[in-house]
């Protein structure tokens, strides 16, 4: 179920028996000449919706803009500062917690979000420890960050299909998932080989100099919609099991 398609009495009924929610989390950033700007939120959305199809799970609104400062030299990229993203995560968790959601599962599609989302969780736990409510033993809601692309079965499938051509950005695996999820927006482009550098450019202009077309060692042209279907199947199975385990903690 998508929260957006529910009424408040339906949410209230859901909360009588459940207290978990999945929030797709991503970015709005360049993904090379044939990857969509929305790739990093379209992927976790496709996987979350597959999880929700055959299970009683609520999927919250996506966080579609993340920490993408190093991609800002490419048009179309939008980035939140780490402090802004921390506030977005924190206010999202605290709003849901007020209604009785106690297990908030962020299904993430963008590596650049990871340190900031984890810092947001630390802020939430610190708020709770310092608050008087903690004296009543309520404790904070539990938060979990799961990156779909590092799930062991997903990483194994990417290795099997693409080897080193998976690269680190605008990967054929993420492009495949968007081709499966949005077949009306499949793009093609001539792609020269993309070489990975040993150090990560932190400045946006340096990034564009190091990776002129936006890819990082990946061959996005290996992507197919059928590969995308396989990634969504494997990832949604793993997320479903991981979410169920998390909700029991």
**Interface contacts to Ni ion, rule CB under 5 A:** 39-40, 174
Cα 24 to Cα 39: distance, rounded to the nearest angstrom = 12
Backbone angles phi, psi at 7, to 5 degrees: -100, 165
Q: How far is the CB of 149 from Ni ion (least distance, A)?
A: 8
Q: How far is the CB of 112 from Ni ion (least distance, A)?
A: 9
Q: Which is nearer to Ni ion, 87 or 168 (CB)?
A: 168
- State the helix-helix crossing angle for 172-181 and 225-247, rounded to 10 degrees: 90
Cα 241 to Cα 175: distance, rounded to the nearest angstrom = 25
Q: Which is nearer to Ni ion, 25 or 97 (CB)?
A: 25
8 Å CB contact between 154 and 148:
yes
DSSP string over 10-30: HHHHHHHH--EEEEEE--B--
DSSP string over 27-67: -B--BTTTB-TTHHHHHHHHHHHHHHHTS---B---B----
Q: How far is the CB of 233 from Ni ion (least distance, A)?
A: 20
Q: Which is nearer to Ni ion, 148 or 246 (CB)?
A: 148
Q: Which is nearer to Ni ion, 45 or 174 (CB)?
A: 174
Q: How far is the CB of 111 from Ni ion (least distance, A)?
A: 8
Q: Which is nearer to Ni ion, 169 or 240 (CB)?
A: 169
Q: How far is the CB of 39 from Ni ion (least distance, A)?
A: 5
8 Å CB contact between 41 and 181:
no
Q: Which residue is nearest to Ni ion (CB)?
A: 40
């Amino acid at each position: 179920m998508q929260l957006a398609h529910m009424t408040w009495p339906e949410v209230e009924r859901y909360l009588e028996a459940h207290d978990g929610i999945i929030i797709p989390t991503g970015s709005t950033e360049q993904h090379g000449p044939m990857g969509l700007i929305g790739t990093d939120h379209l992927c976790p959305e496709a996987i979350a919706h597959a999880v929700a199809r055959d299970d009683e799970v609520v999927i919250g609104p996506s966080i579609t803009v993340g920490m993408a400062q190093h991609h800002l030299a490419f048009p179309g990229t939008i980035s939140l500062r780490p402090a802004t993203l921390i506030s977005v995560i924190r206010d999202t968790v605290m709003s849901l917690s007020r209604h009785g959601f106690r297990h908030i599962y962020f299904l993430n599609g963008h590596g650049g979000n990871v340190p900031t989302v984890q810092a947001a969780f630390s802020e939430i736990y610190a708020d709770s420890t310092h608050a008087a409510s903690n004296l009543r033993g309520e404790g904070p809601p539990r938060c979990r960050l799961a990156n779909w692309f590092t799930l062991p079965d997903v990483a194994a499938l990417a290795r099997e299909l693409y080897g080193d051509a998976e690269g680190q950005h605008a990967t054929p695996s993420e492009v495949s998932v968007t081709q499966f999820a949005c077949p009306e927006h499949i793009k093609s482009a001539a792609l020269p080989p993309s070489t990975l550098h040993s150090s990560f450019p932190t400045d946006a202009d340096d990034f564009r100099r190091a990776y002129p077309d936006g890819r990082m060692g990946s061959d996005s042209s290996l992507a197919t919609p059928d590969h995308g279907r396989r990634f969504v199947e494997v990832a949604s199975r793993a997320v479903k099991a991981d979410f169920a385990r998390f909700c029991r903690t």
